[in-house]
Amino acid sequence: MNGFGLAYVALATRDVTGAARVLGDLLELPRQDLDFAGSTAPTFAIGETALALFAPEDPFLGQGALPGVNHIAFAAADPAQAGEALSQAGFHVTRAPGDAIAVDPAETSGVRLRLTPALGLGLGRSERAERIDHIGIASADNQAAIATFCQRLGCPLESQQTDMEVQIAVESFTSDRYGVVYHSRPPVTVGGLRVAFITTGDCELEFLQNFDPGQSGEVAHGTSGNTRQDQGAIARFVASRGAGTHHIAFKSPDIDRTLAHLHEAGLPMIDRKGRPGSRRAKIGFCHPHAMGGVLIHVVERA
């Protein structure tokens, strides 16, 4: 395999109208209403790909769809032929709505993956969102994901890193005769994620794996995050839903300006200013209520 680009990303939202407002009115992405096997979906060009909005009960998504990133579609000029190639390579594939081909998520680290022709919407970008930076995936095994998407599907491995939060205890010994001596204990890990970025088209799939399964992390809902909370969110997602797509991130030239714009427009926010994130980036999250249950965030990086 020689790798794939993204045709579109399907988002399942409890509030299609509200989510369309965020993408179209606030992030200023160009919109078209497209037919997906009989379902009309507001679709927004972003970078070289697109975001399509569906209600969770829309038959195009299949039964049991939950709010969030439902599936991603790789572009294939001939999906049936591409599906046959995947089948010969050992993947289990089935037909999906609209003559698309679906790959068994058990074989793609929980990612719901379809093959479909490109939408041909052209380049979509604005001063708020230049393209998709990455699609976040809660992972149970990053090395298995790399083996599948890089070695078997031919997608390039962009980078790997480990995000850690540690605590360091400092003891002091204060004497009226001998002065003060400070002693630092060895650092203790309190949160961490193993991260792998795999390129597909003009964005990456970001696989996030709990660094220490013995730690559940912590989640303080509605407050600005940190590495420990990020670990907790991933750990809880995998425990409740299994591995799979978790969030989507948009690349912005000015994260603080974009976050302020979204806040002033009345969106519920987790972060109002950018904080340190992977790949020397600044990141900031909106609350999932802003997009009807879809977790989005903004990224600024070189």
Query: 92-102: per-residue pLDDT in tens?
Result: 999 999 999 99
Nearest alpha carbon to residue 98 among 119, 70, 124, 84: 119
Contact 166, 189 (CB under 8 A): yes
Q: Is the pLDDT of residue 201 over 80?
A: yes
Domain spans, the chain: 6-300
CB neighbours (10 Å) of residue 252? 27
| Two tokens, residue 13 | 């939202």
Return the pLDDT at 223. 59
Task: Return the pLDDT at 226.
Answer: 78
pLDDT given for residue 235 in this prediction:
86
DSSP assigned state of 186: P
Q: Quick check: 199 pLDDT over 60?
A: yes
Residue 215: predicted pLDDT = 61
Tell me the residue length of the chain: 302
The predicted-structure confidence for 10-45, as pLDDT tens digits, reads as follows 999 999 999 999 999 999 999 999 999 999 999 999
Cα separations (Å) of 75 from 49, 67, 101, 116, 134?
Answer: 9, 23, 11, 5, 17
Tokens of 69: 């990133």
Q: pLDDT, tens digit, for every residue of 228-280?
A: 778 878 888 898 899 999 999 999 999 999 999 999 999 999 999 999 988 99
Fold observed for domain 6-300: 2,3-Dihydroxybiphenyl 1,2-Dioxygenase; domain 1 (3.10.180)
pTM of the model: 0.91
Each residue of 149-188: pLDDT tens digit?
999 999 999 999 998 888 899 999 999 999 999 999 998 8
pLDDT tens-digit readout, 42-92: 999 999 999 999 999 999 999 999 999 999 999 999 999 999 999 999 999
Q: H or E stretch including 172? A: strand 170-175
